[in-house]
Each structure stands twice: as structure tokens, then as C-alpha cells.
Structure 1
């Protein structure tokens, strides 16, 4: 169990985080393909994937030169900051302070922009650029998550498999339905990912400063439970403090 816990948590965190990012990138690429044509959509996406691959090949091996305790501490602090950013937004969306992200609305917004650019001589270039930027920006987050959750314990391969599985799943489902994945409970996924990344960050920051966690890797489960309880308590408190916002969201 102690051996499987970090592997399962690494794969799950990489899969869920990558799934959210790939859904957002896919929405833009789909909008470009449907509104303009698939040539600039796929060209822009392919170029972005090539840039991401180059970044991984260039900077990935450098991590092996960093002492493991230093790597755990730095990655842990970054994951806490990254995870809490996701968690903060998910909590605020849960109580209605921030509007829920709507992939279908994002799709129609992007198609409206592309239609306005249709008469521009650079229409294909702008469409390809939109696809390139979407895949690159979301892909950078995926790369960071894969490296962060995988490198501290030498599980980059497992994290990569989780991200690859998310990519394949989104592509298969998205191409099959040929529309934005609007029914994906994105905020719930972001909430869970925020909890997982924050928990990873706390765990690895502790290891980086020499903490001896009770139960070794099983401490991850306890940290996750504590962070989750604190987050749900915060949601409940905010809903009681801002009932109007929560009521507006429910409507």
C-alpha cells in the first residue's frame, strides 16, 4: 500500500489536472476548426506541441542535477502556490463569488471572434495563432504539473502516463461528439486537483526540510483529508457569509 499510494496519487493528480487543461485547449482548437478550417487549427496545435516537447527535452534532464531534497522543497513550495491558486478559484466559484467556467460559452465566444476576423486577409494566420496559443498555454501548465508531481519521487513516467491518458480521453470523446465538453464538471475537477496539488506540496516541502512524516507516503492521505476538510469548511462558512452570491449561483 505504501508503494502504491504515491504512484496512484501521482497518476491521479496528473490525469485530473491535465484533463481540465486539455478540455480548455480542445475547446479553442475545435472552435477554430469548425469556424475557419481544420488546417490552421491542427497546424497551430501541432506547432504548440512541438514547442512543448522541445521545452521538456531541453529542461527535463536538468532536474537530475538538482539535489533531491532541494528539488522536493522547491517543487513542494511551487505546488502549494499552484494548488492553492486552483483551490481558491474553485472555492470562490462554489459559493458564486466567481462565475463558473462554461466551455460552451467559451466555444461560442471564440467562434464569434473568428467570424469577425473572417474578412481579414490574415484570417488563417489568426485562426492558427489562436489554436497555437491555446495549446501552448494550457500545455505549459500540463508540463509543469507532470514534472512537479513526478520529479520529486522519480515518478515522472507515471505522471506522464496520467497526462497522456487525459489527452487521449479528451480527444476521443471530443472528436466523437464534435462539440465542446460542456458537461464535464470542471469546477469539481479543479477543486479536487487543487486539493491534490496542495497536499503534494505540503508533503514534499516537509520532506525537503527533513520532516519525518508518520506513515511515510501514507501521510499524503492524511494531509489530503485535512486540506479537504479545511476547504469544505471554508466553502460552508462563505456560503453562510455571502448567501446572496450562493443563491445567485443556484439560480
Structure 2
């Protein structure tokens, strides 16, 4: 297992990313439960989690057959692209260029869509509700699986990363059961900003590892890259906000 310098960022990245995805999935599942009841919501959720588990079990043995350098390079490039996408959206939202994601509005929208289907007296509404929950869990869960594999596969950290992701999902599930409402107060854009920074840092590190780069400080280089992306992200958000104000004024 990798050193603490690698394990801590991997677990943190998996936890925060999974927290964001779990909150978004929970919003849709709660909307389904509110309109059609818990039975189709839980059936769809269970089916989605089962398929995700099978996917992870299938991918695990395949990863062991891929040469480490090739695996690090491919994952590094994908992780960098993935992280920069999250970071870009977080910067634009922080700058006020695009609106912040609102879980309360997302809940209301999904609830309204389901009620409209109910109002049209569509057949198999429970099936439609179950599929809605299934799609939400699958789409958000696939991102979690990718992140866990990406931050954990390079240095044998799949188990710690998976534990971080599982802890986040269980936390969101527990809070959702207790409050029965979407977690609108979660600072989602702040979390996405942090996750984008960490995934981008891992992406640079693994890409270099795959190309044979000997990073100064070894695993500590991940933290250095994270600081660089964090500073660059804050600076870009401030410049973008200033530019947006100049254009609008």
C-alpha cells in the first residue's frame, strides 16, 4: 500500500467526489419516493447499486493484467481531463458566470416531471419511477467508480479509496433517511472545486509516472500539484468574476 502522502489525498478525493455524486443521486431518489413511494425508489436504487458492484468486480481482475506504466498513463490523462472539467465548472460558478447548482430546485423539477407523468395517467408509473431512481444511481455511481479506480489503481490504493467513497455514500444515505429532504445546504460548488483540484493533481502525477518521470519528493508531488491548481483556480475565478462585471457594466 502506498505511503500516507498518497493514501490521504486518494481517500479524501474519493470521499469528496462521492459526497457530491451521492447528494445528486439522493435528490432524485427522494423525489421518486415523494411522488410514487419508497418501494419503486428503493427497487431502482438497489438495482443500480447491484449493477455497479458487478461492474467493479469485473474491472478489478482486468486492471491487474494491464502493465502498471500503461495503466498510470491512461488513468492519468483521463483523470486530468475529468478533474479539469469539474474545476472549470466550479470556477465559472464561483465567478457568477453560470448559476450554482441548487439541489432544492433539482428536487422540485424531478418531482414535477414525475407528477406530470402521473397526471397524464401514463401506465407503469411505478416502473417509470424505478427506472428514474436506477438511472440516477447508475449515472452518478459510474463517476464514483471511475474516481475510485483512477485515484486508487496506480499505487494499490483501491481499498482505501473505496472506503472513502463508501463512507461518503453512507453518510449521505443516513442524512437523507433522517431529514427526508434534498441536502440543499451542502456547499456543492466548494466541494467540486476541491475535488477538481485534487483529481487534476492526481492526473498530472499519474501521467508523469506513466511517462517515466521521476517526480521530486515522490508522492509529495501530488500535494504540490494540488496547491498549484488551487492557487490557479482561485486566481482564475477572481479574474473571470472581474471580467464578467466589466462586461455587464
- 2:133 aligned partner: 131
CA distance in 2, matches of 1:68, 1:7: 18
Measured after TM superposition, the shift of residue 92 of structure 1 is 0.6
Pick closer, same or farther for the CA change 1:36–1:57 going to 2, 3 Å.
same
Specify the alignment match of 2:60 in structure 1.
60
- Distance change (3 Å), C-alpha of 1:244 and 1:100: farther
Shift in Å at residue 59 of structure 1? Answer: 1.8
The gaps in structure 2 that reach 5 residues or longer are none
Aligned equivalent of 2:184: 182
Per-residue deviation, 1:3: 2.0
- Alignment partners' CA distance in 2, 1:60 and 1:244: 51
Which residue does the alignment assign to 2:78?
78
TM-score with structure 1 length normalisation?
0.95
In 1, are the aligned partners of 2:97 and 2:241 still within 8 Å (CA)?
A: no
How far 1:5 moved relative to its partner? 1.1
Q: Is the contact made by 1:20 and 1:190 (CA closer than 8 Å) also made in structure 2?
A: yes
> TM-score, normalization: structure 2?
0.96
Counterpart-to-counterpart distance in 2, 1:61 and 1:246: 54
User: d(CA) in 1 for partners of 2:51 and 2:74?
Assistant: 25
1:200-211 to 2 correspondence within 5 Å? 200-211=202-213
Alignment correspondent of 1:236? 238
Structure 1 unaligned blocks of 5 or more = none
Partner of 1:141: 143
CA distance in 2, matches of 1:191, 1:223: 14
Point out 4+ residue stretches in structure 1 off by more than 6 angstroms.
244-247
Describe the shift of the 1:70–1:124 C-alpha distance in structure 2 as closer, same or farther (beyond 3 A). same
Give the equivalent residue in structure 2 for 1:225. Answer: 227
SS of the residue 1:214 aligns to: coil
TM-aligned CA deviation for residue 244 of structure 1: 6.5
1:104-119 aligned at under 5 Å gives the runs 104-118=104-118, 119=121
Residue 13 of structure 2: aligned partner: 13
